[in-house]
């Protein structure tokens, strides 16, 4: 089980000296000894615990918390390395940093493990948490472990149940029937992602569509707010905002009522359209198979029922939808055209109208919609064009080449003729709003969304129980708050399919809180996305036993300043969290609407694949040989040559995974972290390679040597800046501050690959500088510059390679941690060059470079450029038309 949370009053001091023994400087830096040493020292000193009463400006950096699947993978290493760089940098810049970690611990894999091996989900989950916590700690992350939470802990889900009840009271929870994917073998609801080619992912049985009464969060109540809020999220990737915009899918249109004449189950049908302007091109009305009119008619007409069944069977898999032909069934009834007395539109049951969008009914205008066009072509319905494209005469408009969906002017449309599409939409809406049918307006302007309410019911054991009770007398009754948490029973069986909670002998039997008569608990548990929709808020005060959140902690810490995670959560997790924050605001648990001010979506870790005679081979079982002709791979077991395949996301099936424990064991956490941040831009994929990480190991030794060499000639800790500096010392200081400035600029923009390049460049320059120094000539100025350079180097790499940096820092004579030392902010005046090397072009082609004083006037620079021999040669005596001087940038001589 989790260690108890530390009470906030008992947090250790923020900084402290350490007394543990650190050996004399070895020639080679040994991460295997150093890393555990520093990890223990950090843990003992508690420097990464953040206090809620710290007066410094806050910074909340968070990486998406892991599901405790068993072991961490390289994707975690990359994710958490990035977050740790930000956390450590911001801490060095004087911020009060919150950098917590927890576990997204409910979910199906725990139940699958229980079914396969008999281990109780809780036992399995907590064992995994222990393993993964140890692995994360071996990475040297600057996490505040005192705030650790696991969503499967009753101390966490108790508060989630409380908020469910508050949402319920606030009208944000609904109970309604909905279509679900039902696995008849496992007897459970499947998420869409768990339906593969129409079959359950686990049982392989054909999935049925069932109507089930489910609990819903009314996320659609916030559709407009969730959409408009996206505009305020300036530090989110545009790609993610766009995906959310499309997912919410706002469209403006008109609800239109058509009268149905003659016999039938209804005298009226309501459609939703975004194109009311095309009403004079309408030639049919289409209904979804589950539309009430179709259902009513199907009860009396077996051939219609058979048609509907046939259509329902297809459409589960995406491949079917792609190829499905438009199908219709003429219901034999017709709708009256609202403006043409003698026109009646035939009504069809169709397979391409969706029941859960709009009203489940459309009017079809084949001339201006692809689907309607396909349908009309198949069933020989009229295709009447009513929009005339710009630059075309109405008499020349043809529908032979398919529908026209663009803008234009109306024709064939009576009172709309000559109007623009927008004006025509307004005109139709205004006219229908003024008319009444069955006592209601015939037209109502309406905004429609693709966004659906969030169904949170799951027929599973390992999730947060929904705190509701069903009473035959009182109906649905919330569990009283004093009875929370509704805890999961421990004694459950996984020997049969279905929900163990439902068949538990006693758990669900409970007295009705209202009337006291025997009643039943809700046996559905919540979707695990609920758990992850507010954990970032819980981290601000995980010690509060009385309430989910503490107002002061929420307003101090939220929003999260930098959230980092995979793009795969671009929609659901991030949208649900944004909804939850709004719900928490509405119920007094929070005071803001947007939980994540900054979002960064990092790329995947990929690796090449190896395919031998017997199948895929793991990188650990392959030896790579470098030859001039290229790379060849051989199996370690049978020595046979294996094919080097494509580079793909690390996956168990392709066996191209690398185990973080092994990498950390042989190269160290610093090397793994550094490699993850180097080479590739963080939003792109990074290719893991053995050669690359070996290169990092060499670089680490180089840093260690460089710091040692500089340390040999460095001034004592805290030595003052000498009054005068010789040219060598001045150049060294300049290089130091240039490197600092570059890393500062790139680290805040999360361009870690560039930070790595700057660090490499700096070490190269330091190597040259050291090579030029002979020991007997070191004066106070150079000694100062050497100390400054060595300390800057340690600081530069500290966010990424914290252990090595600590060792260097200690080696340079510091008693405190570099992890709690202040960042040596670059002196930007020192960085500025007095003389600038300006490229000179002739007609846009570079011919020479001239050295000019910074801020030299145009005439001077022009004179220098024209005096250049290379420029004169390129001119070949031709007259100069013009000289373009971009100050501080470039000169272009135009001939």
52-71: contacts with RNA (CB under 7 A): none
Tell me which DSSP letter residue 604 carries.
Answer: -
The pair of three-digit structure tokens given for residue 211, joined into one six-digit string: 């109507």
Q: Is 698 in the site for RNA (CB under 7 A)?
A: yes
Shortest Cβ 743–RNA spacing (Å)? 12
Can the peptide bond before residue 485 be classed as cis, meaning omega within 30 degrees of 0?
Answer: yes
Q: Strand order of the sheet with strand 188-190?
A: 188-190, 173-183, 208-217, 454-455
Q: How far apart are CA 754 and CA 826, in angstroms?
A: 17
The whole-angstrom distance between residue 827's C-alpha and the CA centroid of its chain comes to 36
Select the residue interacting with RNA from 52, 702, 731, 887 (CB under 7 A).
702
Q: Is 632 in the site for RNA (CB under 7 A)?
A: no
Question: Looking at the DSSP assignment, which residues form a beta bridge with residue 211?
Answer: 179
Residue with tokens 């808020």, as numbered in its chain: 537
Contact between residue 566 and residue 601 where contact means Cβ atoms under 8 Å apart = yes
Task: Outline where 177-259 has alpha helix (H).
Answer: 223-229, 238-248
Q: Is 849 in the site for RNA (CB under 7 A)?
A: yes
Shortest Cβ 152–RNA spacing (Å)? 27
Shortest Cβ 891–RNA spacing (Å)? 8
Select the residue interacting with RNA from 659, 761, 816, 827 (CB under 7 A).
761
Q: Which is nearer to RNA, 284 or 809 (CB)?
A: 284
Select the residue interacting with RNA from 246, 267, 483, 614 (CB under 7 A).
246
Q: Which is nearer to RNA, 844 or 879 (CB)?
A: 844
CA dist list (Å): 547 to 6, 26, 579: 17, 53, 20
Q: Is 241 in the site for RNA (CB under 7 A)?
A: no
Question: Looking at the DSSP assignment, which residues form a beta bridge with residue 200?
Answer: 195
Using the rule CB under 7 A, give the single segment among 208-216, 349-357, 383-391, 801-809 that binds RNA: 349-357
Select the residue interacting with RNA from 397, 731, 875, 890 (CB under 7 A).
890
Packing angle between helix 690-713 and helix 780-797, nearest 10 degrees?
150
Q: How far apart are CA 180 and CA 211, in angstroms?
A: 6
Q: Is 420 in the site for RNA (CB under 7 A)?
A: no
Shortest Cβ 586–RNA spacing (Å)? 26
- Number of residues engaging RNA in binding (CB under 7 A): 85
Number of helical (H) and strand (E) elements in the chain, helices listed first? 27, 39
Q: Which is nearer to RNA, 450 or 814 (CB)?
A: 450
Q: Is 860 in the site for RNA (CB under 7 A)?
A: no
Q: Is 676 in the site for RNA (CB under 7 A)?
A: no
Question: Please, which of residues 297-316 interact with RNA by CB under 7 A?
Answer: 315
Contact between residue 315 and residue 293 where contact means Cβ atoms under 8 Å apart = no
Q: Is 272 in the site for RNA (CB under 7 A)?
A: yes
Closest to 266 measured CA to CA, from 311, 330, 331, 327 = 331
Shortest Cβ 475–RNA spacing (Å)? 32
Q: Which is nearer to RNA, 430 or 894 (CB)?
A: 894
Q: Which is nearer to RNA, 107 or 286 (CB)?
A: 286
Using the rule CB under 7 A, give the single segment among 113-121, 228-236, 268-276, 822-830 that binds RNA: 268-276
Shortest Cβ 251–RNA spacing (Å)? 4
Q: Which is nearer to RNA, 322 or 396 (CB)?
A: 322
Strands 102-103 and 149-150 turn out to be: parallel
Shortest Cβ 8–RNA spacing (Å)? 41
Q: Is 354 in the site for RNA (CB under 7 A)?
A: yes
Q: Is 695 in the site for RNA (CB under 7 A)?
A: yes
Q: Is 678 in the site for RNA (CB under 7 A)?
A: yes
Residue with tokens 């290379």, as numbered in its chain: 870
Question: Please, which of residues 213-232 interact with RNA by CB under 7 A?
Answer: none
Q: How far apart are CA 128 and CA 134, in angstroms?
A: 10
Question: Please, which of residues 120-179 interact with RNA by CB under 7 A?
Answer: none
Question: Please, which of residues 766-785 interact with RNA by CB under 7 A?
Answer: 767-768, 771
Using the rule CB under 7 A, give the single segment among 73-81, 113-121, 528-536, 870-878 that binds RNA: 870-878
CA-angle at 698, arms to 694 and 701, nearest 5°: 140
Using the rule CB under 7 A, give the single segment among 142-150, 208-216, 763-771, 776-784 that binds RNA: 763-771
Site string for RNA, 316-335 (x = CB under 7 A): --x--xx-x-x---------
Question: Looking at the DSSP assignment, which residues form a beta bridge with residue 617?
Answer: 610
Burial of 210-243, coded b for 16+ CB within 10 Å and e otherwise, reads eeeebbbbbbbbbbeebbebbeebeebeeebbeb
Using the rule CB under 7 A, give the single segment among 12-20, 143-151, 379-387, 839-847 that binds RNA: 839-847
Using the rule CB under 7 A, give the single segment among 43-51, 517-525, 801-809, 887-895 that binds RNA: 887-895
Question: Please, which of residues 611-630 interact with RNA by CB under 7 A?
Answer: 626, 628
Select the residue interacting with RNA from 288, 294, 617, 766 (CB under 7 A).
288
Q: How far apart are CA 455 and CA 173, in angstroms?
A: 10
CA 54, 58, 59, 65 dihedral sign is positive
Q: Which is nearer to RNA, 547 or 835 (CB)?
A: 835
Contact between residue 693 and residue 675 where contact means Cβ atoms under 8 Å apart = yes
Q: How far apart are CA 797 and CA 859, in angstroms?
A: 44
Select the residue interacting with RNA from 243, 399, 477, 741 (CB under 7 A).
243
Shortest Cβ 545–RNA spacing (Å)? 39
Q: Is 712 in the site for RNA (CB under 7 A)?
A: no
Q: Is 236 in the site for RNA (CB under 7 A)?
A: no
CB atoms within 10 A of CB 775: 7
CA dist list (Å): 538 to 122, 146, 161, 577, 814: 21, 13, 14, 13, 37
Contact between residue 883 and residue 865 where contact means Cβ atoms under 8 Å apart = yes
Longest dimension (CA), the chain: 110
Shortest Cβ 33–RNA spacing (Å)? 18
Q: Is 756 in the site for RNA (CB under 7 A)?
A: yes
If DSSP states are collapsed to H, E and C, what string results for 461-485?
A: CCCCECCEEEECCCEEEECCHHHCC
Tell me which DSSP letter residue 511 carries.
Answer: E
Closest to 445 measured CA to CA, from 276, 283, 245, 227 = 276
The answer for residues whose C-beta is within 8 angstroms of residue 715's C-beta and 6 or more apart is 780, 783, 784, 786, 787
Residue with tokens 């222990």, as numbered in its chain: 130
Residue with tokens 């199996």, as numbered in its chain: 635
Select the residue interacting with RNA from 231, 845, 877, 878 (CB under 7 A).
845
The whole-angstrom distance between residue 732's C-alpha and the CA centroid of its chain comes to 42
Shortest Cβ 807–RNA spacing (Å)? 17
Q: Is 195 in the site for RNA (CB under 7 A)?
A: no
The H-or-E segment that residue 60 falls in is: strand 58-63
| 3 state DSSP class of 611 | strand
Select the residue interacting with RNA from 134, 169, 235, 239 (CB under 7 A).
239
Select the residue interacting with RNA from 194, 225, 266, 274 (CB under 7 A).
274
- As a residue count, the chain comes to 895
Q: Is 708 in the site for RNA (CB under 7 A)?
A: no
Site string for RNA, 362-401 (x = CB under 7 A): x------xxx------------------------------
Question: Please, which of residues 442-461 interact with RNA by CB under 7 A?
Answer: 448, 450
Q: How far apart are CA 508 and CA 544, in angstroms?
A: 29
The pair of three-digit structure tokens given for residue 148, joined into one six-digit string: 């650790």
Q: Is 653 in the site for RNA (CB under 7 A)?
A: no
Q: Is 677 in the site for RNA (CB under 7 A)?
A: no
Q: Which is nearer to RNA, 68 or 682 (CB)?
A: 682
Q: Is 412 in the site for RNA (CB under 7 A)?
A: no
Select the residue interacting with RNA from 195, 212, 474, 757 (CB under 7 A).
757
Question: Please, which of residues 531-570 interact with RNA by CB under 7 A?
Answer: 567
Q: Is 851 in the site for RNA (CB under 7 A)?
A: no
């Amino acid at each position: 089980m989790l260690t108890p949370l530390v009470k906030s009053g008992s947090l250790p001091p923020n900084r402290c000296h350490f007394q543990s023994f650190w050996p004399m400087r070895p020639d080679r830096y040994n991460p295997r000894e150093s890393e555990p040493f520093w990890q223990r020292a950090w843990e003992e000193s508690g420097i990464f615990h953040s206090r809620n009463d710290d007066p410094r400006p806050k910074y909340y950096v968070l990486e998406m918390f892991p599901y405790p699947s068993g072991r961490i993978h390289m994707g975690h290493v990359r994710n958490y390395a990035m977050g740790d760089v930000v956390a450590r940098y911001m801490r060095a810049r004087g911020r009060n940093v919150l950098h917590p970690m927890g576990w997204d611990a409910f979910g199906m894999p725990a139940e699958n493990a229980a079914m396969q091996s008999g281990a109780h989900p809780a036992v399995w989950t907590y064992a995994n948490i222990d393993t993964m916590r140890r692995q994360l700690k071996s990475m040297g992350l600057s996490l505040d472990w005192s705030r650790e939470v696991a969503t499967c802990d009753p101390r966490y889900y108790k508060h989630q149940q409380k908020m469910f009840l508050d949402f319920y009271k606030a009208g944000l929870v609904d109970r309604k029937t909905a279509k679900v994917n039902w696995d008849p073998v496992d007897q459970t609801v499947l998420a869409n992602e768990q339906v593969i080619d129409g079959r359950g992912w686990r049982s392989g049985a054909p999935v049925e569509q069932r109507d089930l009464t489910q609990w819903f969060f009314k996320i659609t109540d916030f559709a407009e707010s969730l959409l408009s809020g996206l505009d305020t999220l300036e530090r989110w990737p545009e790609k993610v905002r766009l995906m959310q915009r499309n997912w919410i899918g706002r469209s403006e249109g008109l609800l239109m009522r058509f009268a149905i004449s003659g016999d039938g189950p209804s005298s009226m049908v309501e459609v939703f359209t975004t194109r009311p302007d095309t009403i004079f091109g309408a030639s049919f009305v289409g209904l979804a198979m589950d539309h009430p009119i179709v259902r009513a008619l199907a009860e009396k007409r077996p051939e219609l029922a058979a048609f509907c069944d046939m259509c329902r069977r297809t459409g589960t898999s995406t491949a079917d939808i792609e190829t499905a032909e438009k199908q219709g069934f003429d219901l034999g009834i017709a709708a009256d055209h609202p403006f043409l007395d003698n026109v009646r539109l035939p009504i069809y049951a169709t397979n391409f109208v969706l029941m859960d969008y709009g009203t489940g009914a459309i009017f079809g205008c084949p001339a201006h919609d692809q689907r309607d066009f396909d349908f009309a072509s198949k069933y020989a319905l009229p295709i009447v064009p009513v929009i005339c494209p710009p630059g075309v005469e109405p008499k020349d408009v043809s529908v032979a080449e398919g529908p026209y969906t663009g803008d234009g002017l109306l024709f064939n449309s009576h009172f709309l003729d000559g109007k623009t599409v927008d004006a025509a939409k307004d005109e139709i809406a205004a006219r229908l709003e003024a008319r009444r049918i069955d006592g209601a307006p015939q037209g109502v302007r309406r905004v429609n969304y693709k966004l659906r309410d969030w169904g949170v019911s799951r027929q599973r054991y390992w999730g947060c129980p929904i705190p509701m009770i069903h009473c035959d007398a009182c109906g649905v009754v919330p569990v009283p708050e004093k009875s929370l948490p509704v805890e999961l029973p421990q004694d459950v069986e996984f020997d049969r399919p279905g929900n163990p909670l439902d068949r538990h002998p006693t758990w669900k039997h409970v007295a009705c809180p209202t009337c006291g008569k025997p009643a039943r608990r809700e046996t559905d548990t919540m979707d695990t996305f609920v758990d992850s929709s507010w954990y970032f808020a819980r981290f601000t005060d995980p010690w509060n036993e009385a309430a989910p959140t503490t107002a002061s902690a929420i307003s101090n810490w939220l929003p999260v300043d930098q959230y980092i995670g995979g793009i795969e959560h671009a929609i659901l997790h991030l949208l649900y969290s944004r909804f939850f924050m709004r719900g928490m605001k509405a119920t007094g648990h929070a005071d803001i609407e947007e939980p994540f001010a900054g979002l960064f979506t990092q790329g995947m870790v990929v690796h090449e694949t190896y395919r031998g005679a017997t199948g895929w081979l793991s990188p650990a079982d392959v030896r790579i040989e470098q030859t001039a002709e290229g790379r060849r791979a051989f199996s370690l077991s049978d020595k046979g040559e294996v094919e080097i395949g494509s580079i793909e996301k690390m996956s168990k099936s392709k066996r191209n995974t690398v185990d973080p424990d092994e990498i950390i064991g042989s190269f160290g956490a610093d090397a793994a972290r550094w490699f993850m941040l180097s080479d590739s831009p963080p939003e792109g994929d990074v290719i893991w390679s053995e050669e690359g990480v070996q290169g990092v190991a060499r670089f680490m030794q180089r840093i260690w040597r460089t710091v040692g060499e500089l340390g040999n000639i460095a001034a004592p800790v805290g030595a003052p800046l000498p009054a005068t500096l010789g040219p060598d010392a001045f150049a060294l200081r300049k290089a130091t501050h240039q490197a600092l400035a570059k890393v500062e600029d790139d680290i805040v923009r999360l361009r870690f690959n560039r930070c790595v390049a700057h660090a490499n460049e700096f070490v190269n320059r330091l190597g040259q500088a050291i090579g030029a120094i002979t020991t007997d000539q070191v004066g106070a100025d150079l000694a100062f510059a050497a100390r400054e350079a060595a300390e800057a180097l340690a600081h530069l790499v500290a966010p990424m390679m914290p252990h090595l940096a600590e060792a260097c820092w200690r080696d340079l004579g510091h008693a405190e941690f570099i992890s709690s030392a202040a960042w040596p902010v670059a002196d930007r005046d020192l960085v500025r060059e007095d003389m600038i090397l300006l490229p000179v072009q002739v007609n846009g082609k570079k011919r020479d470079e001239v050295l000019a004083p910074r801020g030299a006037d145009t005439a001077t620079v022009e004179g220098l450029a024209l005096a250049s021999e290379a420029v004169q040669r390129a001119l070949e005596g031709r007259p100069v038309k013009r000289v373009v001087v971009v100050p501080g940038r470039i000169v272009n001589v135009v001939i």
